[in-house]
Amino acid sequence: MFLHHLRNRHFLVLDLVLLAVVPTLALALRVEPSSLARFAQGAMIFTVLALLVKLPVFYFFGLYRRYWLYASVDEMITIALAAAVTTMIIAGAFFGGQLTGLVESNALPRSIPLVDGLLTLLVVGGTRFSVRAAHHRRTKRTRGPDTKRVLIVGAGEAGTTIARQIGSNKAIKLEPIGFVDDDREKRGLRIHDVPVLGSRDEIPALVQTYDIQEVIIAMPSAPGKVIRDVVRMCEAAGVPFRTLPAIDDLLSGQVSVSRLRSVDIEDLLRREPVEIDMQAVGDMIAGRRVLVTGAGGSIGSELCRQIIRWEPAQLIVLGHGENSLFVLSNELSHQKAALCCQVVVADVRDRSRLESVFQRCRPQIVFHAAAHKHVPLMEDNIEDAVTNNVLGTRNVVELSEAYDVDRFVSISSDKAVNPVSVMGVTKRAAELVVSEVAGRAGRPYVSVRFGNVLGSRGSVVPLFRQQIANGGPVTVTHPDMTRYFMTIPEAVQLVLQAAALSQGSQVFVLDMGQPIKIVDLARDLIELSGYQVGRDIDIVFTGLRPGEKLFEELFLESEAYQRSPHARIFIARNGHHPAPALPNGGPAATLEQQIDALIEAARRGDADEVRRRLKVLVPEYNPPGAPSPADAERAAPAPPDPATAIIPPAGEVVEATKFSA
């Protein structure tokens, strides 16, 4: 069709011809045919002057520099603005000329400039959008027999964007048949010429009625329960389905067909989007020097991704694994603030190396994410767990104190509560170290405690995926085992918010929602992979491994907790006991002395002595083969001194309560 070959030079010629006719047409609409001759001279002068105004204004608004094949609402707004400006200029000149006597009062009817403006809008917009309409019709006509009929779940911004992209690109072998949306006011409406057919409860019936071949779930901000309901209905209807990533993952704000992917376990567990105080986090980070340890890990790398968006003066990316740091630095190099990023390969156990970094970079905020985290592995490597998790934390927090770091945030774990594992007890010891330094320094040095993060390296979800890819079986330790789960971006956002809220020696606990049964997680992953449990992939229970509990807890028995100003963050208090007595019954030792003895035992490789000292340091530690009750009683700490007890701030405080499955 010839419309597809029109270029801006052709539109200029069309405008010149059609706009020369517009004033005469406006006059014909305004007066009787018999009166046209009387206004002929005035109409001719008006036409020339109108062209002298319209063409330069249209050029100024860029109407001759656009590709009209893909014209959209933005182009229509531009045309309307250009037409309005020309109408105001022409009307001003026309009425001004009449008032000053330069134009005879009866040369033309006074309504001519306004009628001319409306016709100009129709002519200019009509010629250009006819190209867009022709392209749209041609694209729809040429869809081949291999095009899939799709149903779009969600008629919001994401869903309508997907429908528009599908409708405008014949290379996308999809045809949107309809929307489903729970908003009753949208029922029966057409959006981008696609009807809203019903609510999501009607998906199975609509799939049969309209011969739907695929369902697109376009609800990036919907909670996991909604996604689970839609997936269940699609599975019942026997129709494949895809989705958009969660809103946290659409960081650029771009919704695109290219972003469609298979529904993943993260979608089924998705919670309400985290809302943080952007102003407070931005004020904390912008223009400051920020150090992140363990930057190559799952949490550390996501911290770097989010921190760099707030444009710190410098981001010091510190880690021990050069490969992960190399990958992260390449990723961050595409950020606009990447010039502030400095990569440091260092081990947090090497105090002299760390001190040279602090001396050179002078960080103002430190996020300490470096740690050994794999529970069964640390049971067999207790010495390294102590030196990395305890000594490493002490090195970083003490250097933070020495170099006047304003804020320090240590990443802890729910496994630190009533720990039975080496990983958990070393994390609890690290909390005590941070609290000790915070009290001494009088600065907001805090720990943030949360549970498992989905998709982190070595976590259960990647393990299950690998087992499914290998044909099974999927191994679960116990049918009743539960865990708390968060997505990595959600956890990091709340860590940043907790950092902004910190005021002193505190342990922040993130609201993890409801615990998830691991066997349910395994079953969902198998089904999302297109298999059936028992027929294609088996689930095998292998028994608890050393250091594992059936459920995790978020608070100690002795801790009081209350909600912080942020609804998804708790503050735990009263959980830090004083340093215990020495094992030989001698006078009470300082926490520093206890940590020194613990680290010395770890360096000697004396695993039994390490476990004994960990039990003395953290009495609630209950590993296999723990000391007898008499030993624990001799090593028990003295009651806290009321004069030095931490007093919770005003607000509702819940005493000695545990979150558990």
Report helix, strand or coil for 378: helix
Tokens 């490789």 — which residue? Answer: 605
Does residue 539 contact residue 474 with C-beta atoms inside 8 Å? Answer: yes
Q: What is the secondary structure of 196-220 as a DSSP string?
A: EEE-GGGHHHHHHHTT--EEEE--T
CB atoms within 10 A of CB 506: 22
Return the active site residues.
415
Report helix, strand or coil for 315: strand
State how far the Cα of 76 lies from the Cα of 69, in Å rounded to an integer.
Answer: 13
- Identity of the amino acid at 255: V
Tokens at 32, concatenated: 């009787």
Does residue 181 contact residue 155 with C-beta atoms inside 8 Å? Answer: yes
Closest CA to 506 of 426, 580, 410, 586: 410
Burial 155-166, CB ≥16 within 10 A → b, else e: bbebbbbbbbbb
Does residue 453 contact residue 373 with C-beta atoms inside 8 Å? Answer: no
Closest CA to 341 of 382, 377, 311, 376: 311
Does residue 441 contact residue 501 with C-beta atoms inside 8 Å? Answer: no
Q: Could you give the dihedral angle defined by the CA atoms of residues 392, 396, 399 and 405, in that order, rounded to the nearest 10 degrees? A: -170
Please give the backbone phi and psi of residue 475, each rounded to the nearest 5 degrees, phi first: -100, 125
β-pairing verdict for 482-483 and 516-517: antiparallel
Distances (CA, A) of 458 to 176, 439, 454, 465, 548: 40, 35, 10, 11, 15
Q: What is the secondary structure of 497-549 as a DSSP string?
A: HHHHH--SSEEEEE---S-EEHHHHHHHHHHHTT--BTTTB-EEE--PPTT--
Distances (CA, A) of 46 to 20, 95, 190, 309: 10, 12, 43, 55
Beta partners for residue 180, in sequence order: 153, 198
